[in-house]
Structure 1
């Protein structure tokens, strides 16, 4: 089963909160990372099957842009990330995300 990682970066915390909420409600994905990236920018990363991540990211973009004062800065989907990318970047399942893992 092809897996993917999807990331949405927003300007401001309310927009990333709205994006994260919409992402997990729109598709069967697990949030694996969320943090501040720089200068009032925040990101949320999800993992799941490729089609689920695509649907999730679409919902996150819409919700982030519709949040009051919200703005999605960028987003990206990586289908089938190689092991070396997963081992270096914060896109792997953690002990905190493991109870919510869907796959």
Structure 2
């Protein structure tokens, strides 16, 4: 199995260019395609994973090929594996004591914030929603005890502040189960 300790994420504002860029990125180095898809409002998201040097090379090629269509990019070495697992899929733990939500104007913001959050506190990611059907916005949903969720939300906010525009953040203690169900549908 290939070591996947690093992710690269590219956000473009052209679907056709995004499709072309994916091909070049995958041919440039030994990277595994995690996701490549069109999203609202006419953006294209690409996520790759692999070893640091390979992802750096693929991202260089992606940014160069994407040119003026690139609206966001990030490379995160030593990413917490739960970030990759939580992107657009979710699971519900048995006992939810608190929920935190971080909302951003870009998909890159949520990925960066999620990684900072799970590295800072004992929390579990429930979901990372990347812009599909929500006008290009994105959000992270995480859970744990109240103090850990507060610490994780603050760490995510601070960690992403230079690279992404935060819309809002919340922490709820003892949320109702119906609310949790609605967040991960």
User: 1:93 aligns to what?
Assistant: none
Aligned-pair Cα RMSD in Å? 1.7
* Structure 1 unmatched ranges of 5 or more: 91-103
- Please list the CA deviations of residues 38-70 of structure 1 after superposition, one character each: whole Å capped at 9, or x if unmatched: 2111111111101100110110111112xxxx6
Find the partner of 1:60 among 59, 62, 72: 62
**Aligned residue pair count:** 86
Whole-Å separation in 1 of the counterparts to 2:82 and 2:32: 20
TM-score normalised per structure 2? 0.43
Alpha-carbon offset, residue 2 of structure 1: 6.8
Secondary structure class of the residue paired with 2:58: helix
Whole-Å separation in 1 of the counterparts to 2:71 and 2:18: 11
Larger Rg: 2
1:4 and 1:49 in contact (8 A); partners too: yes
1:15 and 1:72 in contact (8 A); partners too: no
Q: Which has the higher relative contact order, 1 or 2, with Cα contacts under 8 A spaced 6 or more apart? A: 1
* Structure 2 unmatched ranges of 5 or more: 89-185
Shift >6 Å, 4+ stretches: none
TM-score normalised per structure 1? 0.74
